[in-house]
Chain A
Amino acid sequence: MSEYECRGCTEYRELSRRGFLRIGSAALVAAGVPAWLPRVVFANSFKSNRDILIYIFLRGGCDGLTMCVPYADPAYATLRSATLIQPPGGSTNGATDLNGFFGLPPALSSLLEPYQAGKLAIVHATGFNVANPSRSHFDAERFVELGKFNDPALYTGWLGRHLGLVPATLPAAPVRAIAVANGLQVSLQGAPKALPVPGLAQSNSPNFGLTGPSGTRPARLASIGTMYAATTDPLMTSAATTQATIDMLNMIGFPTYSPHGGAIYPNSSFGYSLKSAAALIRANVGVEAIAIDRGGWDTHSAQGVNPGGTMYNLMADLAAGLLAFHRDIVSNSTQNVVVCVQSEFGRRAAENGSQGLDHGYGNVMMLLGHRINGGQVLSLGTNGLPGWPGLGPGQLFQNMDLKVTLDFRDVLGEVVQNLLGNSDLASVFPGYSPTFRGITVP
Chain B
Amino acid sequence: MSVLTSASAVLSAGILAGPQDPKSGPLALVDRMTMGLTQEELGLAKVLGNEAYVKHHLNYEAIDDSTLSTILAGPNYNTLTMTPDQIALQSTTTVINQLTRATILRAVMSKRQMYERVVEMWSDHFHIQLQSDPLVSLIKTIDDRDVIRANAMGTFGDLLRASAHSPAMLIYLNNDTNRVGNINENYARELMELHSMGVDGGYSQQDVVEVARCFTGWSYYSGSSGTNAYRFRYIPSNHDTGQKVVLGHVIPARSAELGQQDGEDVLNILIAHPSTARFIARKMLHRFLTEAPTTPQIDAVAATYTATGGDIRSMLRTTLAFVAATPPPKKLKRPFHLLVSALRALGATVNPPAGNVSWNMQTALLAAGHQLFGWAPPNGYPDTAEYWSGLLLPRWNFGASMMNNEYTGVTVDTNVVTAGATQAAPIADRLSYVLTASRMTAAEKASLTNYMLPNNPTATRIREAIGLAVATPTFQWY
A interface list, Cβ under 8 A from B? 59-60, 134-139, 155, 179, 182-184, 189, 194-196, 198-199, 202, 208, 210-213, 216, 219-220, 223-224, 226-228, 230-232, 234-236, 238-239, 242, 246, 295-296, 298, 300-301, 351-354, 356, 358-359, 398
Complex contact A353–B182 (CB within 8 A): yes
Cα–Cα, bound, A224→B385 (Å): 19
B269 CB–A CB distance under 8 Å: no
The chain B residue sitting closest to A352, CB to CB, is B184
Min CB gap A331→B, angstroms: 33
B193 touches A358 (CB 8 A): no
Is B471 touching A227 in the complex (CB atoms < 8 A)?
A: yes
Residues of A within 8 A of B182 (CB): 351-354
- Whether A211 pairs with B205 at a CB distance below 8 angstroms is no
Distance in Å: Cβ of A441 to nearest Cβ of chain B: 35
* Contact (Cβ within 8 A) B184 A220: no
The contact string, 1 if C-beta is below 8 Å from chain A, for chain B 418-446, is 00000000000000000000000101100
Residues on B with C-beta less than 8 A from A139 are 199
**B232 CB within 8 Å of chain A:** no
Q: Does B136 contact A (CB under 8 A)?
A: no
B423 to chain A, nearest CB (A): 18
Nearest Cβ in chain B — how far from A129, in angstroms?
A: 18
B404/A213 in contact, CB under 8 A = yes
A354 and B387 contacting across the interface, CB-CB below 8 Å: no
- B473–A136 touching, CB < 8 Å: no
A211 contacts B397, CB within 8 Å? yes
In the assembled complex, which residues on chain B have CB atoms less than 8 Å from the CB atom of A234? 385-386, 389-390
Q: What is the CB-to-nearest-CB distance from B312 to chain A, in angstroms, rounded to a whole number? A: 24
CA distance A136 to B467 in the complex (A): 42
Q: Which residues of B contact A (CB under 8 A)?
A: 173-174, 177-179, 181-186, 189, 193, 199, 205, 208, 367-370, 376-377, 379, 382, 385-393, 396-397, 400-401, 403-404, 406, 441, 443-444, 447-448, 450-451, 460, 464, 467-468, 471-473, 476
Cβ–Cβ < 8 Å partners of A354 in chain B: 174, 177-178, 182, 184
A247–chain B nearest beta-carbon distance, Å? 12
Q: How far is the CA of A236 from the CA of B390 in the complex (A)?
A: 10
Residues in A with CB closer than 8 Å to B406 are: 211-212
Residues of B within 8 A of A226 (CB): 443, 447, 450
- Determine whether the beta carbon of B388 is less than 8 Å from that of A183: yes
Closest to A137 in B: B377
Q: Supply 10 further A-B pairs (C-beta < 8 A) apart from A199-B367, A235-B389, A358-B184.
A: A137-B379, A182-B370, A210-B396, A212-B400, A227-B443, A230-B441, A235-B473, A242-B393, A295-B377, A300-B184
Smallest CB separation, B91 vs chain A (Å): 24
A198 to B447, CA, bound (A): 29
Determine whether the beta carbon of A216 is less than 8 Å from that of B184: no
Would A227 and B444 be within 8 Å (CB), given that A212-B401, A220-B467 are in contact?
yes
- A-B contact list, 19 entries, CB within 8 Å: A134-B199, A182-B369, A183-B388, A184-B390, A189-B386, A198-B391, A208-B393, A212-B467, A213-B464, A220-B467, A223-B447, A227-B471, A228-B473, A238-B390, A352-B183, A353-B181, A354-B177, A354-B182, A358-B186
Residue numbers in B under 8 Å from A398 (CB-CB): 205
Closest to B216 in A: A353
Query: Nearest B residue to A348 by beta-carbon distance?
Result: B185
B238, closest chain A residue (CB): A353
Shortest distance from the beta carbon of A201 to any chain B beta carbon, whole Å? 11
Please measure, in the bound complex, the distance between the C-alpha atom of A187 and the C-alpha atom of B392, giving whole angstroms: 20
Are A216 and B464 closer than 8 Å at their CB atoms?
Answer: yes
Residues of B within 8 A of A216 (CB): 464
Cα separation A398 to B451 with both chains bound (whole Å): 65
With A183-B387, A235-B473, A353-B177 as known contacts, state yes or no: A220 contacts B451, CB within 8 Å.
Answer: yes
Whether B179 pairs with A220 at a CB distance below 8 angstroms is no
CA distance A134 to B473 in the complex (A): 38
Complex Cα distance A184/B368, Å?
13
Determine whether the beta carbon of B379 is less than 8 Å from that of A359: no
What is the minimal beta-carbon distance from B455 to any residue of chain A, in angstroms?
17
On whether the beta carbons of A183 and B391 are closer than 8 Å, the reply is yes
Task: State A397–B384 Cα separation when bound (angstroms).
Answer: 35
A195 surroundings in chain B (CB, below 8 A): 390
Chain B residues near A211 (CB, 8 Å)? 397, 400-401, 404, 406
Closest 8 CB pairs of A and B: A353-B182, A182-B369, A354-B177, A212-B400, A231-B473, A230-B443, A234-B389, A183-B387
Residues of B within 8 A of A298 (CB): 186, 377
From B467, which residue of chain A is reached at the shortest CB distance? A212
Do A59 and B377 touch (CB < 8 A)? yes
> Considering the chains assembled together, what is the distance between the CA atoms of A354 and B471 in angstroms?
48
Please name all residues of chain B whose beta carbon is closer than 8 Å to the beta carbon of A198 when the two chains form the complex: 367, 369, 391
